[in-house]
């Protein structure tokens, strides 16, 4: 069975005794002085990894965020995706969108019975930055949780009752990918959480680069657009740049406004069009497009990114492969990230069609490791070494470029 590290942090009795009880925050996410939501990751430093656990299909951890089907795939060989998501189901139909997670389940059985329960959730024990949600059940499935991160929560029958409610905590298992549920958008997930070979016990930081399907659908089969609830989550995640890789005529029709923008949160559209039907040249060509994308990625700590094409499959897939390989993510995990798109149900994603070709081309490049090879490949796209090193420093905690 594949080994994958899991972060688990626990709240000590001393911390519980010393933390202050905060008044509930009524906004979906409280903001700092700049008005920008807090998006910094609370991942434990790599030196704190307590060990690894077996990935067992029959024993999914209760704190894992993935659906049961997704968990079973993650426990198997990365190339086995068709076993779990066939092109058609038993009725001969496409299985549909299966990309949403189960979420981090936050139970509160001790609360008195009621019709509606209020739950306050935070990454901080004092609830300085928090969000309040509701549930009709005595648990809440948090479907945008960061993996490897401890969440503090409290529940009550009324919003006013939260201030005196019992504080609980739960850590999401560190099992990538961090896939999320965003209303009206399929295949939404964070590039963070994968292991990195650039430093000992390294991981890619979450909250900087997201990959997904389109925010406004452009074909007759998929008529949905991002919902108001989806836009609120995009704001909560702090996404500031929408990198749109669809054909230029689609991007131009947006007139500079991202469909994910809301009245109080404007998102920049950055057109990075790679035309349909150019699959055979995407690894070796489009230098100017990739140069622009990676310059945006280098600033993702200040302006987090959501990158997409139509379904978030091949065009999105190759940029994500370039990025993950640059960050020291293994061939297996790069392949697993690529193949996970098949859960979206909108494309018959098969790694043998494109990903294997990209990997074969990457292996033929100069360099000792996949990360070295990709660094050299991106240099050939006229991307500056400083830009690539900056990305590594911002995405992999503990990494420092050579003097």
Task: Compute the average pLDDT of residues 189-208.
Answer: 97
State the DSSP string of 268-305.
EEEE----TT-GGGTTTS-HHHHHHHHHHHTTTTTS-E
Q: CA 1 to CA 364: how far, in whole Å?
A: 29
Q: What is the pLDDT of residue 40?
A: 35
Q: Is the pLDDT of residue 130 over 80?
A: yes
Q: How far apart are CA 232 and CA 291, in angstroms?
A: 30
Contact residues for 274 (Cβ-Cβ < 8 A; gap 6+): 245, 282, 286, 289, 309, 315
- pLDDT above 60 for 55: yes
Q: Which two tokens stand for residue 315?
A: 């065009």
pLDDT band (50, 70, 90) for residue 346: confident
C-alpha 361/C-alpha 380 separation (Å) is: 14
In angstroms, the CA 219 to CA 309 distance is 13
Say whether the peptide bond before residue 335 is cis (omega within 30 degrees of 0). Answer: no
62-76, 85-99, 165-179, range with the lowest pLDDT: 85-99
What is the enclosing helix (H) or strand (E) of 174? none
Burial group, residue 268, by CB count within 10 angstroms (0-12, 13-18, 19+): middle
Better-scored residue on pLDDT, 42 or 97: 97
Could you tell me how far CA 41 lies from the centroid of its own chain? 12
For position 54, what pLDDT does the model report? Answer: 67
Whether 140 and 106 have beta carbons less than 8 Å apart is answered as yes
Q: Nearest 10 degrees: CA dihedral of 50, 55, 61, 64? A: 90
Q: What is the pLDDT of residues 291-308, one digit of tens each?
A: 999 999 999 999 999 999
CB 75 within 8 A of CB 104: no
The residue whose two tokens read 């033929």 is: 364
DSSP string, 213-247: S-SB--SSS---B--HHHHHHHHHHT--EEEE-S-
Phi and psi at residue 80, in whole multiples of 5°?
A: -90, 15
* CA gap 319, 210 in Å, rounded: 11
User: Among 5-9, 347-351, 361-365, which is the least confidently predicted range?
Assistant: 5-9
pLDDT tens digits for range 384-397 = 999 999 999 999 99
> 242 near 272, Cβ under 8 Å?
no
Percent of the chain with pLDDT over 90: 77
Q: Where do we find the tokens 């626990």?
A: 10
Residue indicated by tokens 């590039």:
191
pLDDT per residue over 31-43, tens digit each?
A: 343 343 443 333 3
């Amino acid at each position: 069975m594949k080994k994958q590290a899991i972060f688990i942090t626990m709240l000590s009795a001393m911390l519980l005794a010393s933390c202050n009880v905060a008044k509930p925050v009524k906004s979906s996410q409280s903001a700092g002085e700049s008005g920008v939501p807090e998006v910094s990751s609370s991942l434990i430093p790599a030196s704190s990894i307590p060990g690894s656990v077996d990935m067992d299909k029959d024993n999914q951890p209760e704190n894992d965020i993935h659906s049961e089907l997704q968990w079973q795939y993650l426990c198997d060989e990365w190339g086995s995706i068709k076993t779990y998501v066939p092109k058609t189901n038993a009725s001969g139909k496409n299985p549909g969108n299966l990309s949403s997670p189960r979420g981090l389940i936050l139970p509160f059985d001790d609360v008195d019975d009621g019709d509606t329960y209020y739950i306050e959730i935070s990454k901080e024990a004092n609830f300085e930055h928090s969000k309040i949600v509701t549930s009709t059940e005595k648990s809440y499935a948090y479907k945008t949780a960061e993996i490897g991160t401890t969440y503090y929560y409290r529940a009550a029958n009324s919003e006013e009752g939260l201030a005196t409610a019992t504080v609980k905590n739960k850590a999401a298992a560190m099992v990538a990918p961090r896939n999320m549920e965003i209303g009206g958008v399929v295949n939404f997930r964070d590039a963070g959480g994968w292991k990195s070979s650039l430093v000992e016990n390294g991981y890619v930081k979450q909250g900087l680069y997201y990959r997904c399907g389109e925010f406004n659908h452009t074909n007759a089969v998929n008529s949905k657009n991002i919902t108001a609830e989806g836009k609120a989550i995009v704001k909560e995640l702090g996404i500031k740049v929408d990198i749109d890789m669809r054909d230029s005529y689609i991007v131009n029709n947006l007139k500079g406004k991202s469909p994910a923008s809301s009245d109080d949160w404007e998102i920049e559209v950055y057109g990075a069009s790679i035309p349909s039907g150019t699959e055979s040249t995407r690894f070796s060509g489009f230098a100017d497009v990739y140069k622009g994308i990676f310059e945006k990625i280098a600033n993702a700590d200040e302006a987090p990114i959501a990158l997409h094409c139509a379904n978030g499959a091949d065009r999105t897939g190759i940029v994500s492969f370039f990025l993950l390989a640059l960050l020291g993510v293994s061939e297996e995990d790069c392949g697993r990230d690529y193949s996970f798109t098949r859960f979206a149900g909108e494309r018959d994603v098969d790694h043998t069609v494109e990903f294997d070709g990209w990997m074969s081309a990457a292996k033929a490049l100069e360099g000792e490791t996949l990360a070295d090879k990709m660094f050299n490949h991106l240099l050939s796209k006229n991307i500056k070494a400083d830009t690539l090193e900056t990305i590594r420093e911002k995405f992999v905690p503990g990494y420092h470029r050579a003097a």
